[in-house]
Chains A and B, each alone.
Chain A
């Protein structure tokens, strides 16, 4: 049938199974928004306060559901406002399709009003991108974008559509949603080599990343761990893949990881890394990382094998297939000494935790969230100390429940992402944020209020940029350069109320518990302003450039 380019975009999104999109209209997407208006009963568009918030919402939607998130913005500043959101998705391998308008092709290259080369700008932060020259290729390019976004190692794809393509008439025939490219199969020789290496070692440690969630191989990970008597640690991106209370799970490892998890990875004689890139935040000093261990690296992306840490055996390909084969090939093992050693590490870890029962501390905030959230509650975070406390103490039962910017470390990610996660799952979502991060994109409270998106914002308010302050305390002679936020005098309770949300202040554990219990059982958008001491540290900590045995476990001032 004959449709306008704008209608083709909307029909192709619907055909690809898209039900919700986030975005912001403007001059060069007016036609597209007109088509969205006409299709309002088949696709829901949610207007955010800022394009960055829309990009993070599409990202959070995708992380929480596994579906491709979609964001729309106009040309020029609309498009550039997506950049941080696209880069965030790229660094964490999140499937996303970003659609931007651009000026008509006869105005391209003339520095026209709101003209920007967004395909050029996003080259290094997209998996691929398109500038559409021909309305008759529009639908296929959008399909290709979805295919690329969700194939192999997922990532964001951008499609830039000039206005004249949106108004041109083209041919459109509906098609079925695209399937991802078939994953390449792992080399069986490598699988056998991995299995033989596993059989020859006695202190196995499985290190998992976001690829375990993306490939839905969480059950295979625990099955492998059970068979070979291994313990499991993870990167920030791997959180929620394995239930926190799984007896073999030691938690996140690395710069602010759990003591037992970091130490066990250091003491292991075999690291089986699955769906992870060995980020510097997970390994500490690479030269000293797991120096007693052989490394097996399993990943869908061949470019990750031996990129950051040299693998003794690299198994590249479909993770579930590789794990199934390895599980079926290895011999069952018992490593009592190793497990006992890990138990000792866990006991030591418990001894480091100090918490004043009368004070509202990050630990108590997280424990209270754990008490009232369900297994299905998505927990989004921003970036900083609160993020690390959430990563350490929030207990997950189901995958895809930790929504956090790992690779790019984007402050301001959380609120948009929480809205996306809540929209995608239909679950009341908890955002754990800090006063610094929240200040960056709190305008999205307007979005949550507008669409009645149930989000409870747990604002860990210490009046400082806590993570930077912690470094200044430890390594910069207490020079608190531009990290004091108290001087801002922002009243977050009044701020929440001004947006039409509920604002509550919590200064004691009891006040927080009462406020959180009420908020999470309501459909309200609530901001709980939790007053926390500004000198709370995130511990343990690997000092910069340090190895895992340089771990700092108790607070000391530099």
Chain B
């Protein structure tokens, strides 16, 4: 299972908002040899629960194993597989770019194309913020790489199912 080839997929996990739960989830990845692409965790509409969003690539076997092993953890309440077509996915990136007068015009046009905002401006650097799908973020980074990235930070993907459904409609675990 070391190589994750195959389709990318997103899994939403509803967990009890308790001490150590994130460790339980990530410890399982190590134990089972899962290699994930990104993981985000945050509060939900209910204070009792946190929502973990995992993106991972893999074949049907890896996907089934990941879902099953998540469902076996005691603090996990709901697990939902969000395949590309049914999911709304967003990621946020902050990029600090060298503030070089020669680059200025190219930076501004890139920002315009990607609807990025400049959120901090100094003599040495400017910091931009972009929200979008992971593909869009990848494309933006490719485009501004030659302009001199000082550092960048991506949040990882958060995702919801399209339409009116909720993860709470998934079958209860335990």
Residues of A within 8 A of B (CB): 119-120, 123-124, 127-128, 131, 133, 148, 181, 301-303, 306-307
Contacts and interface: CB of A to CB of B under 8 A. Distances in A.
Given A148-B74, A181-B174, A307 B23 contact: no
Contacts of A301: 72
B30 A303 contact: no
Given A123-B24, A124-B27, A131-B20, A302 B74 contact: no
Contacts of B31: 124
A306 B27 contact: no
Contact of A303 (B61, B72, B174): B72
A372 B74 CA distance: 46
Nearest to A127: B74
Nearest to B31: A124
B74 A303 contact: no
Interface in B20-78: 20, 23-24, 27-28, 30-31, 61, 64-65, 68-69, 71-72, 74
Contact of B23 (A123, A128, A303, A306): A123
Contact of B20 (A119, A302, A303, A307): A119
19 contacts: A123-B23, A123-B24, A123-B27, A124-B28, A124-B30, A127-B74, A128-B74, A131-B20, A133-B19, A148-B74, A181-B174, A302-B68, A303-B65, A303-B68, A303-B69, A303-B71, A303-B72, A306-B61, A307-B68
B130 to A, nearest CB: 36
A123 B73 CA distance: 11
Contacts of B74: 127-128, 148
Nearest to B28: A124
Contact of B65 (A120, A127, A131, A307): A307
Contacts of B72: 301, 303
Contacts, number: 28
The 9 closest A-B pairs by CB, nearest first: A303-B68, A124-B31, A123-B27, A128-B74, A303-B72, A124-B27, A303-B69, A302-B68, A123-B24
A105 to B, nearest CB: 12
Contacts of A302: 68, 71
B59 to A, nearest CB: 13
Interface of B: 19-20, 23-24, 27-28, 30-31, 61, 64-65, 68-69, 71-72, 74, 174
B16 to A, nearest CB: 12
A124 B23 CA distance: 10
A120 B30 CA distance: 13
A309 to B, nearest CB: 12
Contacts of A133: 19
| Residue picked from B27, B30, B69, B74, most chain A C-beta under 10 Å | B74
Nearest to B64: A306
Contacts of B27: 123-124
A127 B24 CA distance: 11
Contacts of A128: 74
A133 B18 CA distance: 12
A181 B172 CA distance: 14
Contacts of A307: 65, 68
B146 to A, nearest CB: 44
A301 B71 CA distance: 11
A133 B20 CA distance: 13
Nearest to B65: A307
A240 to B, nearest CB: 27
Contacts of B30: 124
Nearest to B73: A128
A124 B64 CA distance: 20
B163 to A, nearest CB: 27
Contacts of A181: 174
A306 B67 CA distance: 13
A160 B27 CA distance: 18
A303 B19 CA distance: 25
Contacts of B24: 123
B72 to A, nearest CB: 5
Nearest to B60: A306
Nearest to B68: A303
